[in-house]
């Protein structure tokens, strides 16, 4: 279960930090497309298959940048709106750190806010989240072909697993 949370944190940092487990969005209720064979995906995990099902909206077996960004916009919308309590289109440091706004220690949440507030103005905007998502996509797209394959997601999951077992591995 911890690995699933880590993978989601990699792919959806704002949602992973701001939602509590009871507030997490349920998986898509749509019928999943036919699964690629274990041989073609290198036996990807259930979490990777679920992410592929949720993100790969055109069912071509890979996740384009547009699909990746659309998935995160959907996932972030509810969290962003919840945290943006004054509805000004940005999440202030006070809103992000407010009691009940997220989980984790105050120090870890403050550090996460600092990472998301890339221009240092004390506010997280959707544009800052989009820039971070684009950078995350580029990091995950290890072969630089413009799409994320199940194998690339599995590699990210394996890296998270290694880091979880040995935090000094970074």
- Quote the Cα angle for 137-89-146, to 5°: 15
The domain 2-13+46-169 is placed in CATH, from the list 3.90.1200, 1.10.760, 1.10.238, 3.30.310, at: 1.10.238
Residue 148 near residue 68 (C-beta atoms within 8 A): yes
pLDDT in tens, 132-148: 999 999 999 999 999 99
pLDDT in tens, 111-169: 999 999 999 999 999 999 999 999 999 999 999 999 999 999 999 998 888 887 876 65
- Quote the Cα angle for 153-10-145, to 5°: 40
Q: Where are the alpha helices (DSSP H) in the chain?
A: 2-11, 13-18, 38-41, 46-55, 65-83, 93-97, 106-116, 126-140, 150-165
Distance (Å, whole) CA 79 – CA 5: 16
- Quote the Cα angle for 143-68-132, to 5°: 85
Distance (Å, whole) CA 159 – CA 123: 30
**How does strand 63-64 pair with strand 123-125?**
unpaired
What pLDDT score was predicted for residue 138? Answer: 97
CA dihedral 94, 100, 104, 108 (to 10 degrees): 0
Q: What is the total residue count of the chain?
A: 170
pLDDT in tens, 24-38: 333 333 333 344 433
For residue 100, which phi and psi values (nearest 5 degrees)?
Answer: 85, -5
**Does residue 5 carry a pLDDT above 50?**
no
pLDDT in tens, 42-91: 467 898 999 999 999 999 999 999 999 999 999 888 889 999 999 999 99
Q: Give the residue from 158, 151, 152, 150 showing the smallest Cα distance to 53.
A: 150
Q: What is the mean pLDDT of residues 13-23?
A: 40
Question: pLDDT class for 9, splitting at 50, 70, 90?
Answer: very low
């Amino acid at each position: 279960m911890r690995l699933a949370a880590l993978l989601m944190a990699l792919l959806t940092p704002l949602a992973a930090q701001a939602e509590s487990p009871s507030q997490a969005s349920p998986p898509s209720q749509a019928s999943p497309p036919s699964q690629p064979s274990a041989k073609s995906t290198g036996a990807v995990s259930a979490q990777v298959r679920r992410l592929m099902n949720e993100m790969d909206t055109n069912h071509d077996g890979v996740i384009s940048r547009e699909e990746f960004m659309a998935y995160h916009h959907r996932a972030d919308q509810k969290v962003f709106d919840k945290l943006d309590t004054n509805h000004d289109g940005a999440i202030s440091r006070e809103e992000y750190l407010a009691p009940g706004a997220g989980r984790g220690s105050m120090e870890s949440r403050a550090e996460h806010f600092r990472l998301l507030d890339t221009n240092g103005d004390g506010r997280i905007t959707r544009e800052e989240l989009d820039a971070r998502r684009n950078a995350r996509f580029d990091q995950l797209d290890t072969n630089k072909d413009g799409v994320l394959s199940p194998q690339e997601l599995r590699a990210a999951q394996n890296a998270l697993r290694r880091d979880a077992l040995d935090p000094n591995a970074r």
